[in-house]
Amino acid sequence: MNVLIKSATIVDSKSDFHNDTCDILIENGIITQIKDNIETPQKTKEISHNNLHVSQGWFDSSVSFGEPGYEERETIANGLKTAALSGFTDVAVNSNTNPVIDSYADIAFLKGKSQGNAVNLFPIGALTKNSEGEDLAELYDMSNAGSVAFYDYQKPIRNPNLMKLALQYASNFDGLICSFPQESQISGLGVMNENVMSTSLGLKGNPALAEELQIVRDLFLLEYTGGKLHIPTISTAKSVELIRNAKKRKLDVSCSVAIHNLVLTDDALKTFNTRFKVLPPLRTQSDCNALIEGLKDGTIDMVTSDHNPLDIEHKKIEFDYAKYGTIGLETAFGALNTIFTLKKTVDLLTKGKERYGLTSIPVAIGQKAKLTLFNPSEPYTLTKDMLFSTSKNSIFEDHEFKGKVYGIYNNQQLVIN
C-alpha cells in the first residue's frame, strides 16, 4: 500500500527531519520523499489527522496475550491489533500461556500465528521447562527458532545454581536471560507493598527487600558468570541504586520498569479494587520518583506496559485471591506523556530494541517505513469502551491522560483507529 502522510511533525532525534512538519511519501513500504508539500500520486492513500505527529515505531519488551490456552483472555490476532492501535510496531511476547512456550515448536507456533501482521511479534521463551524452575528449557533450540530472550514470566528462579547455569549456557550464543526480581521466601503471601498502607488495610505485605535481595543475588551471579542479564519491571528506589552501581562496574545488565509503577502508588489500594493488584506491587511516591530519575539518567533502560489481560473471573473476586496483572498497551503513551516531555516519551517508547536483537529504523528517505502516528496533546479520560483488548482489566480506568494514538504503518500495512 502506497501512503502519503500529510503535514506530520516528525519526532525522531535520529532523523535529519526531527521537529520538522513535513509530508511523508511511502511507496512499496519505503520512505521515498519527505518534503514540505507533496502532491498525492495516483493509487496512494492520503492520511491527514489533527495535530499529526510521526515517530519511529514503538517497542514493548513485556506483553502477554494468552494464546495458546487462555484465548478467553486474549488471542494473538486481537492482541496484535491492540498493539497496532496503541502505537506499537514491535512486541516481545511472554510465555504466559498454557502450555508454556518452552520448545522450538512452541516458538515456531507463535511466529507462524503472527505471520503477515502489521505488528512484529518476537517470542520470549520460558527459561525453565514449563516455567517450573526445576530444569532449563531448550534455550539454544528456541534461540534458533526465533526466541529473543528467556523468561519465566513473573516467576522468580529460586535456585541460584540454576540461574548461574542459565547465564553461563546462554552466553555461548549471546542469549538474554531475564530474572524476575522477587525473593519468594521474603515476599511470602504478600499481596501489596509492605508499608503503612498494607497495615491499615489489613493486607499481607510484599516488602521492597524481597525485590532487592533477588537483584543483589543475580548481580553477584552475573559478575561471576560474565553472562547477559535483563531484570524486568523493577519497582523500588534501592533497586535503581543497585543497578546503577552494577553498570558502573561494567556488568552486562539491563532493566525495565512497568509504566503503572511510575504513575500510581500503594495509596490507590484504599478501595480494595483488584484493578490495582499488580506484580511487582505499587510502591511509594519516593519509589516512583527514584524510578523516574532512573529513566532520566539511563540507569533504567526501557519502559514496558507489562500488558497482561485477565478475564473478569480472575479479577472480580476477593483481593487476596485475585490474579496479578493489568492491561497496558492502550495507555502506555498517554501515561508517559503526562510525566515526561514528548521527546523523552517517544524516546522511551522506542528504546530497548537493540537489547533484544532488534534494529531501530529512523524516519529517513530510503529507509523502510516503520512508523507510529499520534496526537500528543489530546486530553481524555479512559473508559472501558476505549479499550481494544478482549479483557478490560485496566489499572488506569477513569484516569486522565494526554495524548492519543492514531495507529501505525509497518510491513506495508496501515492500521489506523
Catalytic residue set: 306
The phi and psi torsions of 400 (rounded to 5 degrees) equal -90, 135
Q: Are 67 and 78 spatial neighbours (Cβ–Cβ below 8 Å)?
A: no
Amino acid sitting at position 262: L
**Preceding amide of 41 cis, omega within 30:** no
**Torsion from C-alpha of 33, 36, 37, 43, nearest 10 degrees:** 30
Instruction: Please state, in angstroms and as integers, the Cα–Cα distance from residue 358 to each residue in 94, 143, 148, 303, following that order.
Output: 16, 14, 9, 16
Q: Are 380 and 397 spatial neighbours (Cβ–Cβ below 8 Å)?
A: no
The phi and psi torsions of 196 (rounded to 5 degrees) equal -55, -40
Distance CA 345, CA 339 (A): 8
- Torsion over CA: 192, 396, 156, 232 (sign): negative
Distance CA 333, CA 60 (A): 11
Q: Which residue, 171, 121, 181, is CA-closest to 151?
A: 181
Amino acid sitting at position 273: N
Residue 98, C-beta contacts closer than 8 angstroms, at least 6 positions apart: 68, 69, 70
Residue 178, C-beta contacts closer than 8 angstroms, at least 6 positions apart: 124, 127, 149, 150, 151, 229, 230, 231, 232
Residue 66, C-beta contacts closer than 8 angstroms, at least 6 positions apart: 72, 73, 74, 75, 79, 96, 97, 309
Residue 25, C-beta contacts closer than 8 angstroms, at least 6 positions apart: 2, 3, 4, 5, 31, 32, 33, 34, 38, 41, 44
**Preceding amide of 181 cis, omega within 30:** no
Amino acid sitting at position 124: I
Distance CA 59, CA 119 (A): 10
User: Count of H helices and E strands in the chain?
Assistant: 12, 18
